[in-house]
Amino acid sequence: MTEGRRVWAGLQLLDRQLIAHEERLAGCIDDLELIASDDGDQLHVTAILSGPGALAYRLGRRRFGRWLRRVHACASPTGDRDSTRIPFNVVTDIGSDVKLGLDAEETGSASAERWTRDHVISHIPGSGHAPE
Amino acid sequence: MHLSDLLHSQVLGADGASLGSVDDVRLVQDGPLLLPFGAAFRVEGLMVGHRSVGTRLGYVRRGVRGPWLLRIIFAALERRARYVPWDDVVAWDGRTVRVGKRRDELGVVVP
């Protein structure tokens, strides 16, 4: 990473594709988390927010977006960690896409799909067989 | 706080006049260390204005040369936009950004 580089958040970060550690697509950057510095004078980017809840919040559906993020957190495979929040320190490269040092399973973009697989599909007789 | 809160905020100058809304946020990578990523991104400034669509599309910024007709159109639009360094921001309550300068004291060109 080059120290001091400058980017336009809306133009160069929002909606960029996230690529997980194993080169799988892992959703898009729907929003960024900003935290004020201790003295309150500066704002720092601390996390990427990705998933339907983050997108709904960004599009102005604030209450619905917060609710959807809570639902996704409940379905998260990472336990108590909100998988729609990706800490910025796991970013490994920023270019035309954004590469992460996480597996796609640890991100929130496919949590509904995972929950359905684990709690519904897996209980259907015969679902343990790979498709032929 | 979310970036989208900032992007939707209205901006008021020192005289109380509206400068428009925040169209984009400039980040610089010189914040606290977030290992192994490196320095965190810090909010350095805001692009504000009623007509800064060209700025959001990337026209007129340094290194963008054409097509010439679009460059001329967006250059005219961008002249209405203003760049607000974060150091000039007096307060932000999540909906409204208050700037310590008037529109004519703010620069058009991003430093």
pLDDT per position as a tens digit, A47-58: 999 887 888 888
Instruction: Please report residues of B whose CB lies closer than 8 A to that of A94.
Output: none
Token digits of residue A48: 């990427």
Which of A3, A8, A57, A89 is the best substitution to test chain B (most B C-beta atoms within 10 A)?
A8
- Dump pLDDT digits (tens) for A30-81: 999 999 998 888 999 999 998 878 888 888 888 888 887 777 767 665 555 6
Q: Which of A8-17, A117-126, B41-50 has the lowest mean pLDDT?
A: A117-126
State whether residue B20 is helix, strand or coil.
strand
Predicted local confidence at residue A22, as pLDDT: 83
B96-99 and B10-12 beta bridge pairing: parallel
Residue A99's alpha-carbon distances to A41, A47, A96, B37, B88, in angstroms, are 30, 14, 10, 11, 33
Check B2 against A9: CB less than 8 A apart: no
In this prediction, what percent of chain A has a pLDDT beyond 70? 83
- Dump pLDDT digits (tens) for B10-28: 999 999 999 889 988 999 9
- CA angle B97/B102/B104 to nearest 5° reads 130
Distance, CA of A53 to CA of A61 (rounded, Å): 9
Contact B66, B72 (CB under 8 A): no
Predicted local confidence at residue A39, as pLDDT: 87
**pTM as predicted:** 0.80
Greatest pairwise CA separation for chain A in angstroms: 60
In this prediction, what percent of chain B has a pLDDT beyond 70? 79
Q: Which of A13-17, B64-68, B101-105 has the lowest mean pLDDT?
A: B64-68
Contact A99, A91 (CB under 8 A): yes
Residue that has been written with the tokens 């800490």 in this structure: A87
Predicted local confidence at residue B97, as pLDDT: 95
Q: Sorting pLDDT into bands at 50, 70 and 90, what band is B73?
A: confident
Per the prediction, chain A carries an average pLDDT of 81
A96 touches chain B (CB under 8 A): no
Distance, CA of A112 to CA of A84 (rounded, Å): 12
> Which stretch, B61-70, B78-87, B93-102, has highest mean pLDDT?
B93-102
Predicted local confidence at residue A67, as pLDDT: 82
Check A8 against B27: CB less than 8 A apart: yes
Q: Evaluate if residue B98 carries a pLDDT over 80.
A: yes
Predicted local confidence at residue A79, as pLDDT: 56
Check A46 against B58: CB less than 8 A apart: no
- CA angle B105/B108/B111 to nearest 5° reads 100
Residue type, A19: I
Contact B64, B51 (CB under 8 A): no
Contact A73, A65 (CB under 8 A): no
